[in-house]
Chain A
């Protein structure tokens, strides 16, 4: 029976290198999803606070759908659905070709739409916290619509939305664990393999849980740093 430290060592006998590659996948998936989710979320929030009823309705439908589905179901729908759809499309040109969706991309898309639907709510409430006079002031000094948004509204918006967005980041980090269900070799998947091979399930799942906890702690330090720098800029502006 190997000791715990052999199992958790780096190299062919231990599993630390495998777990580390899993952590790399987890972190890169979360980091790759973040900009997509933020961008879509921002535009959906813009749609939801527009004066045009049809645009508002379209935005609300998006949020309702992706907040109403479990993340796991969304993930499977994207993974198998995209595979099926692309296969049908490719069969028009090359009947023999088979196609396999990259599970990283499927995870990114599924987590991105879920993240963006929650982010749009955060952005929307931040938009509502910015008084109308800020827009009017921007127009009054001769800024265009886009300039007002970029120079006047966005800096305030980010400051207000930061707390909500950091909560969403922490839940995104946890949701990435779901991609192990579509065989992407993330932290949990590597722990699963290690547990199957060595029969030390408690050890490896415990380590995996602690890794997620460590990622959450590191993120909250990073978030505190960002909050401080944003706050500093605010202090300078005054």
Chain B
């Protein structure tokens, strides 16, 4: 017992908190003062431009824009997730042609801007309209919404395939071998042993990808989709009122923060068995 008390006496205590006004504290208080002023300024600005006419005219448009943004991101994420499975499989396959094709796909969609891809699909399909009409696909490519959906799904599929591949490769090879020695089929191994471990690793990147997709979907406004950003641009073009962009910023910020706290919650819930 005495040894224990001796040790606790010799413990090196953390240095006492600085008192008075050291430089970091002055800067910190100044910056916090700046943020508080900015917040008050924002509220004051919104109060000063508060306009019932503007609200009555554009609030429904903003609501429908939020709906379009959310639908577009959710469907793209789901389609991308489905599409990412064969791509990740091809990327990991030993067949050089298959893995080369998958590598090229991933490299193209991760190496070019989302906005360029959206333009390529929407405006570029116009050049191919005779061929597309012959194939009966013109109705699909004529709609900006479908083009945005296609571009976003293909884009996020490339990112999600890399997440999936990285996660599956992070599981040690011994897990495959152990399962094989127990006589499990490869698919059974993948489903019951590899994926449960891989998806824990993949969770955080998946969450980031969902948030990036929600933010990236604002690009759809530039190919005439009336998502939240599209409605904002329309409202600004009609009213010349800067508050339209301020509201868009606030709504996007609220959406992203809500989504990221939901993802955090899900992640904590799914990894509760890992908490020590």
Contact = CB atoms under 8 A, between A and B. Distances in A.
B120 A50 contact: no
A209 B112 contact: yes
Contact of B245 (A65, A76, A178): A76
A175 B218 CA distance: 13
A206 B124 contact: yes
Interface in B216-243: 216-219, 221-222, 229, 232, 236, 242
A52 interface: yes
A178 B124 contact: no
B245 A217 contact: no
Interface string A209-221: 1001100110000
A180 interface: yes
A70 B25 CA distance: 32
A77 B246 contact: yes
Which residue among A50, A51, A175 has the maximum number of chain B CB atoms within 10 Å of its CB?
A51
Interface in B46-82: none
A58 B28 contact: yes
Contacts of B18: 51-52
Give the size category of B's interface with A: 35 or more
Contact of A54 (B32, B126, B245, B252): B32
Contacts of B108: 209, 213
Contact of B115 (A50, A80, A180): A180
Contact of B113 (A61, A177, A202, A206): A177
B120 A202 contact: yes
A54 B28 contact: yes
A53 B24 CA distance: 10
Given A54-B32, A212-B111, A202 B128 contact: yes
B261 to A, nearest CB: 11
B253 A205 contact: no
B127 interface: yes
B249 A213 contact: no
Majority SS of interface residues in chain A? helix
A81 interface: yes
A226 interface: no
B93 interface: no
Give the size category of A's interface with B: 35 or more
Nearest to A78: B245
Nearest to A176: B113
Interface in A167-225: 170, 174-178, 180-181, 188, 191-192, 195, 199-203, 205-206, 208-209, 212-213, 216-217
Given A51-B18, A70-B215, A212 B253 contact: no
Given A76-B232, A205-B124, 18 more contacts: A51-B24, A54-B31, A55-B27, A58-B32, A61-B35, A69-B249, A72-B218, A72-B222, A74-B249, A80-B242, A174-B112, A178-B219, A192-B119, A201-B123, A205-B123, A209-B116, A212-B113, A216-B112
10 contacts: A69-B215, A69-B256, A70-B218, A73-B248, A76-B232, A175-B113, A188-B119, A201-B126, A213-B112, A216-B111
Interface of B: 17-18, 22, 24-25, 27-29, 31-32, 34-35, 107-108, 111-117, 119-120, 123-128, 215-219, 221-222, 229, 232, 236, 242, 245-246, 248-249, 252-253, 256-257, 260
Please give me the 5 A-B residue pairs with the lowest Cβ-Cβ distance, nearest first.
Answer: A55-B28, A54-B28, A58-B31, A177-B113, A202-B124
